[in-house]
Amino acid sequence: MQSRISGEDIYNKQQETLIVWNEIDQGDDDDEGTDLALSFQDKEGCSEIWDEICEIQQSLRSPSYIDLEALLKMRDDPDEYSTKTVTLPPANLSNIDEIQRLLSDAITVGQKQSTASLILKDQYLPKLLDLWKVVDDLSSTEDYAKMYHIFKDLIMLNCVPLIEIIVSSKYIIDVMAALEHDPERHIGTIKHSDFLKSQAQFKEVVPLNDPQLVNKIHQTFRLQYLKDVALARILDEPTFASINSLIFVNNIHIITDLAGNEAVMNQIFTKLKAPSTTPEELKDILAYLLEMCSLAKNLEPKNKTVFYELLSRNGLFGVIENTFTSKDVKVRMTCAELLLNTVEHDPHLLRSHIIKQDNSLFDVILNSLSTCPDQETGVINILTDVVRNICDVTGLLEGSEKTQFLNTFYQHHAKTLFAPLTQEIPTNMYHSEAAGLLKNNLCELLSSFVKNHPQCISNFLLKNNFVKSLLNLLNCREKWLVLSALRFFRGFIDVENTAFREYIISENLFEPIVEVFLRNASKYNLLDSAILDLFECILKKNMKPIIKHFVEKHYEKVKHITYSPVFHKLKEQSEKNEFMPPTPETSDAVLESLRTRERNRFLENRNEEAWFDEEDDEDYLPEKDLSSKKSGGTLKNTDHSIDQFTSHEEFISKKRRDEDDDIPFTSLEEFNKQKKRGRDDEVNILGELKESPTKRGKKFGGPNGKEKIKEKT
């Protein structure tokens, strides 16, 4: 199969051993073309061909400096081309075209390696830089473009030792000067060499006394600049990855050497704590520490923990507490970022410091959060993340730190933190940028706290009536703040907490939500969808008390809404809930209660029958016993299950009270029949016992009840 490589982006690498593309034949009217694929036995072969395709495509897109004839020869006989001896021409002005062609023809990995090895062996880079100086003196635009391509291709050889030489102090300025003459850009728009010479200044806040470390820092900065600025538009993926690897390794060495240098760390924190330190020096030292935290992200977790523990032991949190009150915006921003870097890695460090140091740092954080001016919205976002990380105790086991911190937070700090949410908000009020952002962030914080530690926050919310105060945000003009309040309420009502739902009902918290919904005038927008979604959630989970309360209090206001069925479904669900049988969880308790009542009725019925028997036998009692009975005395009970009979007047009074009670009961005969059927049939008693009080009276308590029972006996 023969297929000409296209400059268009039609190739795709799949599953590491497959290259697929769609090829459209010339003169073929079929727009779909032909699907082709190359399959390889191993990943290495696939990767090699894929790299060649990518490099050839790149060359085809820049035909001004590629030797297409040599490229075709390489494709026809790659083995011969790759083993062909490469010689470097003398670096002079007459050979500039040949030098450019030699570097641009190095396309495969093998060709690049052999060319780079030859350049290193012959020390060809200094010769090329001498040629650059000649071209720069002549100021020829055409030769400038050729030198740009030469140095660009030199870097694209992707040889790490060669790249390290290029970014060395000896050569970097001249190389950057050549890279300024990109023919596809206006000449002189970017002065890389001037930036590196004058603007990029290296500050030593404390003497490092380590030339190798300083050189490593300079090299890393230049690599970063080369990757992100000078060649950001044209770097291929392999070279980009190589430069990134160099930067990563250098950063590991730098942060390891700095953190391990005890003398340097002592000097840094001594200057931070010294009263004689100027504001400018303070700003530089804090920026230095922040840069160290940025480099520490490349460390392994264990080494990163050692680094942050080192900062904590040296008094980082105390320094931040003292400098957070600075009037310099950059100082406060740097302090906030230092805190965030620390708590993102290990919040325990700051949490334990807050507990041990009498919460003073936490007070500073909260006060700074609530008093940030409009130009410091970045500080608000950072401090919000700091508080969120500190209060996130989901990963901690129940223990002293978790309990102590949460108790301290809700007793001493939560009210201060959420105080902005309790402010009265007039209808259609506008917020400043900082105030609006702060309230939005506090709503998000409160939502996460309700989800993560509902038990601790329950008393705080209900005692301080925070939820009702927070819903004042529904009156503001900013719809995104209204949505923040609704998101919180959705999370609040979603928690399985009876106290929360009773609070919602008692405070009638649906009233402001319904008002906002009606004010929105059924507009099809995000606010309308959010409110409808809230009620869909209530309906889906069948929150019975909530549904009943809403239907009773607010259904009449929204029953005219027809574009969404949720309100009518809530009404229907409320009616269903009224007649819904008891749930399995409650049926056992109800049945046990009914059994207890039936046993009590059974004893009362036996008392009643015994009393009537007593009336029939009164003529046969001795005179002294009869007089004793008439005076309210007691008879001896031969049935040990009944300890004492009541008098006739007490029995009639108690029976009348029972007739006023709607709880059904049975006669002795009915109860004994049901009892013989077994325990499993006890539920059937309920259906047989639903008789009106009148029927019950006819059975036992009517005016002629005694005569009827006597007739039966």
Query: Is it the case that residue 485 has pLDDT exceeding 80?
Result: yes
Residue pair 412/473 in contact by the 8 Å Cβ criterion: no
Q: How does residue 188 score in pLDDT terms, banded at 50, 70 and 90?
A: low
Whole-angstrom distance, CA of residue 254 vs CA of residue 407 = 42
> For 362-374, how does the pLDDT look when each residue is reduced to its tens digit (9 = 90+)?
888 988 888 877 6
In our burial notation (b when 16+ CB lie closer than 10 A, e otherwise), range 507-543 reads eebbebbbebbeeeeeeeeebbebbbebbbebbeeeb
Residue showing tokens 């021409």: 89
Q: What is the pLDDT of residue 288?
A: 93
**Number of alpha carbons in the 13 Å side-chain half-sphere of residue 313:** 10
Residue pair 626/618 in contact by the 8 Å Cβ criterion: yes
Q: How does residue 66 score in pLDDT terms, banded at 50, 70 and 90?
A: very low
Give the residues across from 38 on adjacent strands. 19
Q: What is the pLDDT of residue 4?
A: 76
Give the ranges where 579-684 is alpha helix by DSSP (H).
Answer: 584-616, 623-630, 648-659, 668-676
Query: Is it the case that residue 90 has pLDDT exceeding 70?
Result: yes
User: To which H or E segment does residue 506 belong?
Assistant: helix 498-506
Q: What is the pLDDT of residue 30?
A: 53
Whole-angstrom distance, CA of residue 642 vs CA of residue 605 = 11
Q: What is the pLDDT of residue 202?
A: 82
Q: What is the pLDDT of residue 622?
A: 42
- Residue of higher predicted confidence among 634 and 192: 192
The mean pLDDT value for 612-639 works out to 44
Q: How does residue 444 score in pLDDT terms, banded at 50, 70 and 90?
A: very high
Q: What is the pLDDT of residue 19?
A: 85
- Reduce the DSSP state of residue 228 to 3 states and report it: helix
Q: What is the pLDDT of residue 667?
A: 47
Q: What is the pLDDT of residue 352?
A: 86
Give the ranges where 261-376 is alpha helix by DSSP (H).
Answer: 262-273, 279-296, 301-313, 316-323, 329-345, 347-356, 360-370
> For 164-180, how does the pLDDT look when each residue is reduced to its tens digit (9 = 90+)?
999 999 999 999 999 98
Q: How does residue 602 score in pLDDT terms, banded at 50, 70 and 90?
A: low
- Residue of higher predicted confidence among 110 and 589: 110
Mean pLDDT is lowest, of 21-35, 49-63, 248-262, for 21-35
Q: What is the pLDDT of residue 531?
A: 94
Domain 1-61: which topology?
A: PH-domain like (2.30.29)
Q: What is the pLDDT of residue 48?
A: 80
Q: How does residue 203 score in pLDDT terms, banded at 50, 70 and 90?
A: confident
Q: How does residue 31 score in pLDDT terms, banded at 50, 70 and 90?
A: low
Query: Is it the case that residue 711 has pLDDT exceeding 50?
Result: no
Q: What is the pLDDT of residue 190?
A: 73
Q: What is the chain's alpha carbon radius of gyration, rounded to the nearest angstrom?
A: 44
Q: How does residue 148 score in pLDDT terms, banded at 50, 70 and 90?
A: very high
The first and second tokens of residue 403, run together, are 């309990």
Whole-angstrom distance, CA of residue 431 vs CA of residue 345 = 34
Q: What is the pLDDT of residue 80?
A: 46
**Phi, psi (rounded to 5 degrees) for 36:** -125, 160
The mean pLDDT value for 467-487 works out to 91
pTM, entire model? 0.66
Q: How does residue 571 score in pLDDT terms, banded at 50, 70 and 90?
A: very high
Type of residue found at 113: Q
Q: How does residue 552 score in pLDDT terms, banded at 50, 70 and 90?
A: very high
> For 687-702, how does the pLDDT look when each residue is reduced to its tens digit (9 = 90+)?
444 444 444 444 444 4
Whole-angstrom distance, CA of residue 609 vs CA of residue 11 = 100
- Residue of higher predicted confidence among 293 and 623: 293
- Residue of higher predicted confidence among 703 and 441: 441
Q: What is the pLDDT of residue 681?
A: 46
Give the residue from 482, 366, 469, 467 showing the smallest Cα distance to 431. 482
Whole-angstrom distance, CA of residue 271 vs CA of residue 275 = 8
- Reduce the DSSP state of residue 450 to 3 states and report it: helix
Supply the mean pLDDT for the chain: 79
The mean pLDDT value for 458-478 works out to 89
Whole-angstrom distance, CA of residue 692 vs CA of residue 401 = 62
- Residue of higher predicted confidence among 668 and 150: 150
Query: Is it the case that residue 663 has pLDDT exceeding 60?
Result: no
Give the residues across from 98 on adjacent strands. none
Mean pLDDT is lowest, of 6-10, 445-449, 512-516, for 6-10
> For 221-271, how does the pLDDT look when each residue is reduced to its tens digit (9 = 90+)?
999 999 998 888 888 888 999 999 999 999 999 999 999 888 899 999 999
Highest mean pLDDT among 373-387, 577-591, 593-607: 373-387
Whole-angstrom distance, CA of residue 404 vs CA of residue 352 = 10
Whole-angstrom distance, CA of residue 307 vs CA of residue 133 = 47
Q: What is the pLDDT of residue 83?
A: 42
Q: What is the pLDDT of residue 650?
A: 58
